[in-house]
Amino acid sequence: MTTTLYQFALCPFCNKVRAGLQLKGVPFEEVEVSPRSKVELPSLPDGAPRKVPVLEVGSTVLWDSTRILSQLDEAFPDTLRFTPADEAMRLRADAMEQWVDDQFIESLPPVLYGTWREATKASKVIAKHSRFGTGEGLAVKFGGPLIMHAVAKRILKRNGRTDAHAWVRENLDYFERELGERDFVCGDALTVADVAMHGALTCISPFPIFENVESRPRLHAWFERVEAMKKSAA
């Protein structure tokens, strides 16, 4: 059975799903989608937005990172479970995933595309993932970050922020407090909350902002713990 992830390389929602598949040890193919035409996407059921990530598992098409992560346990039953059996833990894991989606991911575009240096770095990361023809390749490599630079400015304004890095640092403070002394967000076992945050952080790992993760011993140890699980599942 073939599993294919349709993505934008630097989309944090796509990185959540990629982290999920890697942690489950599920082999998958990646298809980089053209941001404007999205021609590469498979046909989607009515009601599904033409957004990435989209995951094709055999002939089943799944969409929306949060729905996909919750469907992976069922789709790949013999792998590491992400959904805690305990009801209170499940609620906590879902709430933290929601925070990652709504608060943390919202703060990322301004540190990925906010300065020209960051936008140039972003275009290099995107180029590494894309196999488009020359015209489309150039449009994606430079056009994407250019559009996202404007989007990043709008996001800052909408949230009443001027310092993108300080905003991300505050979010990292919050996550670190929530993690506390635990190995994972919900205790001893990894859940969707860890998968979501790890995926989102993977997005910023090639960027200078990631120093703020590396310089926090507890947060960095947690990141490395999840990273090691990905490697051992491969």
Kindly state the number of chain residues that form the binding site for ligand GSH, as judged by CB under 6 A: 10
The answer to whether the beta carbons of residues 97 and 190 sit under 8 Å apart is no
- How would DSSP label each residue in 150-212? HHHHHHHHHTT-S-HHHHHHHHHHHHHHHHTT-SBTTBSS--HHHHHHHHHHHHHTTSGGGHH
- Name the minimum Å distance from CB 21 to ligand GSH: 14
Of 196 and 231, which CB lies nearer to ligand GSH in the complex structure? Answer: 196
**Distance (Å, rounded) from C-alpha 82 to C-alpha 160?**
35
* Residue 98 beta carbon to ligand GSH: minimum distance, rounded to whole angstroms: 10
- Site map for ligand GSH, 82-121, x if CB under 6 A? -------------------x--------------------
Cα distance between residue 11 and residue 182, in whole Å: 28
Least distance to ligand GSH, CB of residue 45, Å:
15
Q: Which span (6-14, 73-81, 153-161, 181-189) binds ligand GSH, by CB under 6 A?
A: 6-14
Q: Which of 13, 184, 222, 223 forms a contact with ligand GSH (CB under 6 A)?
A: 13
d(CA 142, CA 136): 10
Residue span 39-78 as binding mask against ligand GSH, x where in contact by CB under 6 A, dash where not: ------------xxx----------xxx------------
Residue 13 or 104 with smaller CB distance to ligand GSH: 13
C-beta of 102 vs 181, nearer to ligand GSH: 102
**What is the amino acid identity at position 167?**
W
- Least distance from ligand GSH to the Cβ atom of residue 53, Å: 6
Q: What angle do CA 47, 50, 51 make, to 5 degrees?
A: 115
Residue type, 160: G
Chain residues 191-210 in contact with ligand GSH, contact rule CB under 6 A: none
Q: What are phi and psi of 77, to 5 degrees?
A: -65, -25
On the CB side of 153, CA atoms within 13 Å amount to 8
Q: Which parts of this chain interact with ligand GSH (CB under 6 A)?
A: 8, 11, 13, 51-53, 64-66, 101
